[in-house]
Structure 1
């Protein structure tokens, strides 16, 4: 699958460069060459930047596992995860690391989510009979990451505040609705591919509790100001993070675990894993950079706009599509597109709000796929990419629909 995707990206970039040259746009050659070397530099910077935080969390997770704290946390969600990942044995460490990663994603703890996700993928890989082919559990986990619900997307609020939004957090509910749709569709598509039965008492019970909790949180946050929401989210996330770290270390100490030695052993694994990521990141970033610098995404955007005009549809959402098209490929690229849209059309315009909703409702599927599968050496992702992109499309479509309902 990845081999074909790589060839498709390069083919699309070459075709786009050819079209640009035929129109006399010779700058596309230098843009493409610059993007090649820039992607190599970026891959190294991302991997090296992960060394510290990955070593930190791999070390802490090892201490937490030895202390039994991770197992205690996983106990809360193991019945649900076991229904979704039936091939993972009960009591396996993967349940703990998966739960920790999803919790970090929900709380918007980006610095913790990625290293915890890599640890979870490593734990799932220990059950993989064919180390180069993704298992059903690994695919489901990846899709949950590409579409995971972030309860309070504080970074999007901050960008809106910087651009002078009248109420930076007024897009909270639209983002939550869009990202929830993305997650639900992602799980449903994976269930179809893997023939999972979702309609049982355990999954329905957890779904009712989770949706009820989200509804209560939405109602409560609706009574707060934008600054209060940001303060609450930051304090809650940081508080939970510190509580986990102290519980890992103190409980391990009480149980006479060699805390320092275990932390060092885990940190060494994190260092080795971060360095191994460079080739996989480079391959994906190179293809994406060429696709972007060649103008292929711009041609796709123009094609969509032309089709919408032909069928007589409302074209206001087209102005925010650059963010939507870039999001599956590059988080930084989508952020730049969002800011550009806000500056050009206004932060509180329809396009400005829609770009922000899209930014907060989906994840960078190709980046997550390259990092998580690359970390454990998986070359064949099977239906992971299809499911991840389907969740992205669902999130983007939901964002457009919700934006029309709230601001249309």
Structure 2
């Protein structure tokens, strides 16, 4: 219900703002909202050639193809004059995100189709883990801990192994693997859910822990910083880990208090201490490496572990081929069945993702997001907040809505202020500190047709805010 109302508010307020801007002459055309593509020049006015100053008129008619650019900057043209059919079209700036119709297309082509491919492959592997008995063994080992965090889940339930693989993939920055494992976990948890259209306690706990985004190897962030010319691309690794870890602990405590979980359990404390120890050990190891060693380690660890998971699944399935025979199937046929289920899941979640991303597209192109962002920046500036922090806030504000959008702001901040500036580093920490809340809600709850998300959205947004505050303190401390 909360998500539905929030979605309606974004949609309706954006449309009203677009229409008002058009009729108050603040916007010349709304075509860019519908058909514009990210990076396109924005049409701001149209005049007859005679209405322009003489120097502009002469420059336009003398320019190649009657196109004249003022303050030319290939990455962000300031003002462009195009003379056609007795009128001069005036463009200024570039569009920040795709319009409504291109968003519909890109949602299918750039998001859903690749996601379906990932789902097909990893759900095929999951089917092998299930039939071979590997997932059952993993669930048995981890049950003592998971039954404390998820008291409504029976001991040795298959969802335990799926959630474990999802968390592991998230830790290692393997987004393409984390989503299929997470969707499989949601499907398994839905089997235990007595109210099929209402999120269960276990589903909410899983979603909030997943969305908190604990990441040990921020591979993509390191890659962006290296491309932007950072002196040490991996220097944000420790701040990213600290920020996302605090976010994860906050998510666990908030949901745990709501669900009356026993935090004094010895198994919970033991796992938490083991996790902290593993993080500290990893940091100590990485810290003693030189720059090339750090880059080599961070570039290869995640990929190596993913290859290891695939190899283990196939070898374990081969060793337990009898179980496939008993199930009247083969290893390859089981993979195909699982892959087919993954394709079906991708088709189911497409409308949920489409609806959310189209609303976000309208929100950004309407100008509302920019007004909110600039307003908050003005408030923080007047409160004496460091300008480097204020300049990074757009990444934090957009992150819950769109990973791609916030990534665009991240790259822009590093290009504008420098990869090694406080703004560039803080933007990097914002980007890797949590998941895109609204996208995650749409994908995961949409995959099992959950309509009432209860307090999941509010908790996830609160955790996002905690991560933002933590990131600011951590970045100020380190840099």
TM band (smaller chain): over 0.9
1: CA distance between counterparts of 2:17 and 2:473?
31
2: CA distance between counterparts of 1:20 and 1:187?
43
Shift of 1:92: 0.7
- Residue of structure 2 equivalent to 1:302: 374
Report runs of 4+ in structure 1 exceeding 4 Å deviation: none
Q: Does 1:139 align with 2:211?
A: no
Change (3 A) 1:23 1:220: farther
| Contact 1:354/1:403, CA 8 A, preserved across alignment | yes
Q: Return the match for 1:126 from 178, 191, 214.
A: 191
Q: What count of residue pairs does the alignment treat as equivalent?
A: 407
Q: Does 1:13 align with 2:77?
A: no
C-alpha distance after superposition, 1:29-82 (max 9, x if no partner):
223223211221122122222222111111111111111212223344322221
Shift of 1:167: 0.9
Q: Which moved more, 1:260-269 or 1:99-108?
A: 260-269
Shift of 1:28: 6.3
- Residue of structure 1 equivalent to 2:147: 82
Shift of 1:304: 1.2
| Contact 2:148/2:265, CA 8 A, preserved across alignment | no
- Residue of structure 1 equivalent to 2:105: 41
1: CA distance between counterparts of 2:374 and 2:118?
40
| Contact 1:98/1:120, CA 8 A, preserved across alignment | yes
Shift of 1:15: 4.7
1: CA distance between counterparts of 2:117 and 2:445?
20
| Contact 2:115/2:176, CA 8 A, preserved across alignment | no
- Residue of structure 1 equivalent to 2:88: none
- In structure 1, the gaps of 5 or more residues are none
Q: Return the match for 2:216 from 128, 151, 166.
A: 151
Q: Tell me the C-alpha RMSD between the 2 structures.
A: 1.7
C-alpha distance after superposition, 1:64-103 (max 9, x if no partner):
1111212223344322221111111001100010001111
C-alpha distance after superposition, 1:212-233 (max 9, x if no partner):
1111111111111343223223
Q: Return the match for 1:63 from 116, 119, 128.
A: 128
- Residue of structure 1 equivalent to 2:452: 380
1: CA distance between counterparts of 2:388 and 2:117?
43
- Structure showing greater relative contact order (alpha-carbon pairs closer than 8 Å, 6 or more residues apart): 1
Q: Return the match for 1:162 from 224, 227, 233.
A: 227
1: CA distance between counterparts of 2:171 and 2:458?
23
Q: Which moved more, 1:276-285 or 1:241-250?
A: 241-250
Q: Does 1:3 align with 2:4?
A: yes
- Residue of structure 1 equivalent to 2:91: none
| Contact 1:17/1:28, CA 8 A, preserved across alignment | no
1: CA distance between counterparts of 2:157 and 2:149?
14
Q: Does 1:316 align with 2:388?
A: yes
Q: Select the structure that is richer in strand.
A: 2
Q: Which moved more, 1:8-17 or 1:296-305?
A: 8-17
Task: With the length of structure 2 as denominator, give the TM-score of the two structures.
Answer: 0.82
Q: Return the match for 2:282 from 182, 207, 217.
A: 217
| Contact 2:403/2:436, CA 8 A, preserved across alignment | yes
